A and B are shown apart, each in its own frame.
Chain A
Amino acid sequence: MKRLVILGAGTAGTMMANLMVKKLPKHEWELVIVDQNRTHYYQPGFLFLPFDIYQPEDVIKPINDFLPKRVKRIVAGIDRVEPKSNQVLLENGELITYDLLVIATGCNIAPEEVNGMMSDKWYKEVFDFYTYDGACALRKKLQTWEGGKLVIHITEMPIKCPVAPLEFAFLADAFFTEKGMRDKVDITFVTPLSGAFTKPVASKQLTYLLKEKNIKIVADFAIERVDSDNRKIHDYGGQEVDYDLLVTVPTNMGDPMVARSGFGNDLNYVPTDKCTLQSKVADNIFVIGDATDLPASKAGAVAHFEAEVMVENMMHFIEGKPMRFEFDGHSNCFIETGHGKALLIDFNYTHEPVEGSFPLGGFGPLKLLKETRMNHMGKLAFRWVYWNMLLKGVPIPFVPATMSHAGKDFSAIECD
């Protein structure tokens, strides 16, 4: 009997378990998934928790509800992977050997990486919204906050769901407007990049949103420290920004298990072939989702597109055939702009987001890079798709793993 071990039962790991169960014959393969948590979080929903659009119960379900019965479930922390001996050491001392390993341990925030970010003001005046606890704490804060300087801040790239901080700013504008207190709130968006939008087409199409919503931008801000006593953030170049309420996206890092295994990069991401998704650590280790070091977005949609490619490559690997399925960095996401509207973007490693229609070229019904109500409905409907189709590995109609060029307007940019 051979054994496939999947580390992590989040979005990527759960999808892989569901897809591989269908591919691997029962009498030949045993499937094992390891995760210390019992709860599956719908992470895209964290953005909506602070603004009371979602309730906490909308974003949590038991992990076991989404795993096939055939998959053996181990609830334990992972100490390390030992690629040379094909085994995983668990924190409880148990050893599991594998023939094939999938690393899907994701990434998490590391606020301790910035001086002063973790202080006695954490979850009082300084918040994250990338964790369930952070989003719930912020939700409580916003219920009674009387206004002042709201600073939304990105520490450094790469981060999970790179547009979420901007969406947070848009939703905050709508939230305070609807509460009748927008005039009491000053919103500033602070980014280490050159602006809120960094790609030429998106920048040209979307910069109006910031003006319209009266959101100030501080760009090229590389944070050095948080001065939580005086409510200021400082950058290495001497810039400083005052806040009353700081909503920060701390440094994102891969799981400490990767560092303990000795094969991560400086942010604990696993070196991965960007086309085949095979690790550069060992041939029988594949990596998916936020755990990789790929130059693609860290997002559930990317994990979903990766899964389709990876399953085929893993089957070829098992059969000893060359891998020929290539991931193109395909990603898409809805961007909430507040007041019941959203944008949709679709892009890959080489193509930036452009205008057009999606998923059916020329027809839509969703519009790319345009604010519409339909896109917002799409984002809300996606929660159902996530729980009922995506995690279970049910193909999503009309949305292939590699990016379609149909119905898109690439005339505004040069393609290579």
Chain B
Amino acid sequence: MTTTLAGKEVNVNAEGYMTDLNQWTKEIALEIAQQEEVTLNEKSWQVITWIQEQFKNEDALTIRKVGKSGVTDIKEFYELFPNGPLKKASKIAGIPKPVSCI
């Protein structure tokens, strides 16, 4: 399915996660962040870039990994993306939600 974000038509799944990272732009990220009630600062953008790199390398994303990323620590990650930081940061970064097999 598709939806309109920042004036562009983009592919998303039923939960609103983007399914094509190529369509992602900073403007789209800002709009998703607003929906999720997250304010982005300079650090948030660094984390988003790092998350996108992990996705491109097909590395599974975990809280522990974010903590060891060198970009941020876990405490700060929770401050940047309150209430389910991995889920929210993934959505804003335009990558799929971390999932299990069912």
Contact = CB atoms under 8 A, between A and B. Distances in A.
A220 B87 CA distance: 8
Given A194-B87, A220-B83, A220-B84, A162 B62 contact: no
Interface in B41-96: 58-60, 62-65, 68, 74-75, 77-78, 82-87
Given A274-B58, A295-B58, A194 B83 contact: no
Contact of A222 (B14, B19, B60, B63): B63
Contact of A331 (B19, B58, B75, B101): B101
B3 interface: no
A162 B99 CA distance: 10
Nearest to B75: A236
Interface string A158-182: 1000110000000000000000000
* Interface-central residue, B13, B62, B101, by most chain A CB under 10 Å: B101
Contacts of A265: 59
Chain A interface size band reads 35 or more
Nearest to A251: B64
Contacts of B86: 192, 220, 222
Nearest to B82: A237
* Interface-central residue, B74, B82, B99, B102, by most chain A CB under 10 Å: B102
DSSP class of A's interface residues: helix, strand, loop or mixed?
Answer: loop
A202 B102 contact: yes
B47 to A, nearest CB: 15
Contacts of A163: 100-102
Interface string A359-393: 00000000000000000000000000000000000
Contact of B102 (A158, A198, A414): A198
B58 A156 contact: no
Chain B interface size band reads 20 to 34
Contacts, number: 80
Given A220-B87, A265-B59, A200 B100 contact: no
A197 B102 contact: yes
Nearest to A206: B102
B10 to A, nearest CB: 14
Given A220-B83, A222-B74, A199 B99 contact: yes
Interface of A: 113, 156-158, 162-163, 192-194, 197-200, 202, 206, 219-220, 222, 224, 236-237, 251, 265-266, 274, 293, 295, 297, 331, 333, 335, 345, 347, 352-353, 414, 416
14 contacts: A113-B64, A156-B64, A162-B101, A163-B102, A193-B100, A199-B102, A200-B13, A200-B15, A206-B102, A220-B87, A222-B74, A237-B82, A295-B60, A352-B102
Interface of B: 1, 13-15, 19, 58-60, 62-65, 68, 74-75, 77-78, 82-87, 97-102
Q: Which 7 A-B pairs have the closest CB atoms?
A: A198-B99, A202-B102, A220-B84, A222-B63, A162-B100, A156-B62, A198-B100
Given A237-B84, A414-B1, 10 more contacts: A156-B63, A157-B98, A193-B98, A193-B99, A198-B99, A219-B84, A220-B87, A266-B68, A331-B101, A333-B101
